[in-house]
Chain A
Amino acid sequence: EDQVTQSPEALRLQEGESSSLNCSYTVSGLRGLFWYRQDPGKGPEFLFTLYSAGEEKEKERLKATLTKKESFLHITAPKPEDSATYLCAVQARGGADGLTFGKGTHLIIQP
Chain B
Amino acid sequence: EPEVTQTPSHQVTQMGQEVILRCVPISNHLYFYWYRQILGQKVEFLVSFYNNEISEKSEIFDDQFSVERPDGSNFTLKIRSTKLEDSAMYFCASKGAAQPQHFGDGTRLSIL
Give chain A's interface residues, CB within 8 Å of chain B. 32, 34, 36, 41-46, 49, 87, 89, 95-104
A41 and chain B: residue at smallest CB distance: B105
B56 and chain A: residue at smallest CB distance: A97
**Count of CB-CB pairs between chains A and B under 8 Å:** 55
Interface majority SS (helix, strand, loop, mixed), chain B: strand
What residues on A are CB-neighbors of B72 within 8 Å? none
CA distance A99 to B33 in the complex (A): 10
Task: Enumerate B20-72 residues with CB–CB distance to A below 8 Å.
Answer: 31, 33, 35, 41-48, 50, 55-56, 58
Query: Does the CB pair A49–B100 fall under 8 Å?
Result: yes
Interface majority SS (helix, strand, loop, mixed), chain A: loop
Query: Does the CB pair A103–B56 fall under 8 Å?
Result: no
What residues on B are CB-neighbors of A46 within 8 Å? 100-103
Min CB–CB distance A75 → chain B (angstroms): 20
What residues on A are CB-neighbors of B101 within 8 Å? 34, 46, 99
